[in-house]
Amino acid sequence: MSWAWLDSLRETIGQPQFTLLFAPAAKFLVAIVVILLIIAYLVFVERRLLGFLQVRLGPNRVGPWGLLQPIADILKLLIKEDTIPNRAVRWAYLLAPCLVVAPAFVIFSVVPFGPSPNAPGAPRWYVTDLDAAIIFVVALASLGIYGIILGGWSSNNKFSLLGGLRSAAQMVSYEVPQGLALVGPLMLAGSMSLVGIVESQAQRGLWFAVPQIVAFFIYFVAGVAETNRNPFDLPEAESELVAGFHTEYSGVRFALFFLGEYANMIVISAIAVTVFLGGWLRPFPSIEALAFLDLIPGAVWFFLKVFAFLFLFIWFRGTFPRFRFDQLMALGWKWLIPLALANLMVTGLLVVLLNGRT
């Protein structure tokens, strides 16, 4: 038996075209698996944390400290019957959950999880570095809405329909302030690449959350609304609309919606961390006395910050009542958008004035 095939394989792998295709795909796969695991355990952490906030224990029976609970939940959802209502619009009904999940995962391909090593050819902490990454993120995030609207409409259920309508209005209106809030840091960084934005923060030795505190706040509020989380969880408000747009979904398809929501939470947090909180940078990157913090790898800092945001999401859920639909719209259009526009003008003026001086 000859080993020629191995040599030819080695040759193929060595070719630059192959690396170009294979390496991102492999990285994306790794990223997806990691994100899936994070989501599974995010749900677990949420339940335990809520339990802590609500003087109860939370799931603690499956495995040590309930650590296997997410696995059990996933298994349960996988083997449940996947029902489709009789008069549902079949293709839309089947397509909707995928439309929610896919964009959320694709966004992770542009998020830099850590600093890039200087050595050429060394593996980098991102799948790809688009020079229009922010636009890519905003565009994909808005794609997810279609899934929710379609899911709500195609189920042939009035509660689903109302949930779909609510989320259409909510997500469309909150995308505007969210996008506007991202423009401020863009102007400061002068780059739309997420890597570029973090590097610009490193250069200045300043997280953009400091000069762009208003934008940061707007982005986060809009982000909570975008992910349909409490206090903006109207599309799936169980006391009003049963389960909102996913009332009719069961089994795996319900799990996909669930996955989409949590993936979106992580996306929102990851983008907030990258754009406003210096991505993989340590706190106070300009202060030399804290240089020892650099011993902790950048990716760890990144995930720590992301988890801080996720904790906020959960904390909100334990604390706030729900907004009413019209109040939510009023908050978006009457407060967040004007505020974001004002912030944009001030930032623009400052950038022009300061750059003119130097």
Partner 1 sequence: MNGNAPTGEPLFGLREMELNFGPQHPATHGVMRLKLKVDGERIVDCYPIIGYLHRGTEKLFELHPFFQNVPHTDRLDYVAAATNNLAYVGAVEKLVGLVVPPRARYIRVILAELQRISSHLVWLATHAIDIGAMTPFFYCFRERELILDLFEQYCGARLTLNSMRPGGQPYDLPQGWVERCGEFIAEFPAKVDEYEDLLTENRIWKRRTVGIGVLPPETAIAYGVTGPMLRGSGVDWDLRKALPYEAYGEVEFDVPVFHNCDTYDRYLVRIEEMRQSARIIRQCLDRLPDGPIMAKRPRVLKAAAATEAYHAVEGPKGELGFYIVGDGSTNPYRCHVRPTSFMNLQALPEMSRGALISDLVALIGTVDIVLGEIDR
Alpha-carbon distance 57 to 55, whole Å?
A: 7
Q: Which is nearer to partner 1, 211 or 318 (CB)?
A: 318
Q: Is 154 in the site for partner 1 (CB under 8 A)?
A: no
Smallest separation, CB 41 to partner 1 (Å): 21
Alpha-carbon distance 320 to 343, whole Å?
A: 27
Q: Is 54 in the site for partner 1 (CB under 8 A)?
A: yes
Which of 27, 80, 204, 317 contacts partner 1 by CB under 8 A?
317
Smallest separation, CB 263 to partner 1 (Å): 22
Q: Which is nearer to partner 1, 52 or 91 (CB)?
A: 52
- Burial label for 135, CB within 10 Å (0-12, 13-18, 19+), is middle
Helix (H) / strand (E) containing 352: helix 337-357
Alpha-carbon distance 216 to 246, whole Å?
A: 31
**Interface of this chain with partner 1, residues 165 to 194, rule: CB under 8 A:** 165-166
Smallest separation, CB 96 to partner 1 (Å): 21
Of 213, 219, 204, the closest CA to residue 354 belongs to: 204
Which of 36, 318, 341, 350 contacts partner 1 by CB under 8 A?
318
Q: Is 158 in the site for partner 1 (CB under 8 A)?
A: yes
Alpha-carbon distance 141 to 131, whole Å?
A: 17
Q: Which is nearer to partner 1, 223 or 298 (CB)?
A: 223
- Residue 251, by phi and psi: left (phi above 0), alpha (psi -120 to 50) or beta? left
Q: Is 324 in the site for partner 1 (CB under 8 A)?
A: yes
Smallest separation, CB 273 to partner 1 (Å): 26
Q: Is 312 in the site for partner 1 (CB under 8 A)?
A: no
Q: Which is nearer to partner 1, 231 or 251 (CB)?
A: 231
Tokens 């973090």 -> residue: 198
SS (H, E, C) 228-248: CCCCCCHHHCHHHHCCHHHCC
Alpha-carbon distance 338 to 145, whole Å?
A: 23
Of 102, 271, 262, 109, the closest CA to residue 179 belongs to: 271
Q: Which is nearer to partner 1, 249 or 276 (CB)?
A: 249
Helix (H) / strand (E) containing 344: helix 337-357
Q: Is the dihedral of CA 84, 86, 91, 92 positive or negative?
A: negative
Q: Is 269 in the site for partner 1 (CB under 8 A)?
A: no
Which of 107, 110, 202, 237 contacts partner 1 by CB under 8 A?
237
Q: Is 233 in the site for partner 1 (CB under 8 A)?
A: yes
Q: Is 251 in the site for partner 1 (CB under 8 A)?
A: no
Smallest separation, CB 248 to partner 1 (Å): 14
Q: Is 87 in the site for partner 1 (CB under 8 A)?
A: no
Alpha-carbon distance 37 to 166, whole Å?
A: 30
Q: Is 53 in the site for partner 1 (CB under 8 A)?
A: yes
Which tokens in the block code for residue 166?
């609510």
Smallest separation, CB 182 to partner 1 (Å): 26
| C-alpha distance across the termini of the chain, in Å | 70
Q: Which is nearer to partner 1, 309 or 323 (CB)?
A: 323
Which tokens in the block code for residue 294?
């650099």
Which of 24, 211, 231, 251 contacts partner 1 by CB under 8 A?
231
DSSP assignment, residue 206?
S
Which of 242, 293, 312, 341 contacts partner 1 by CB under 8 A?
242
Smallest separation, CB 327 to partner 1 (Å): 6
With CB under 8 A as the rule, give the number of residues binding partner 1: 33
Q: Which residues bind partner 1 (CB under 8 A)?
A: 50, 53-56, 158-159, 162, 165-166, 230-231, 233-234, 237-242, 317-327, 329-330
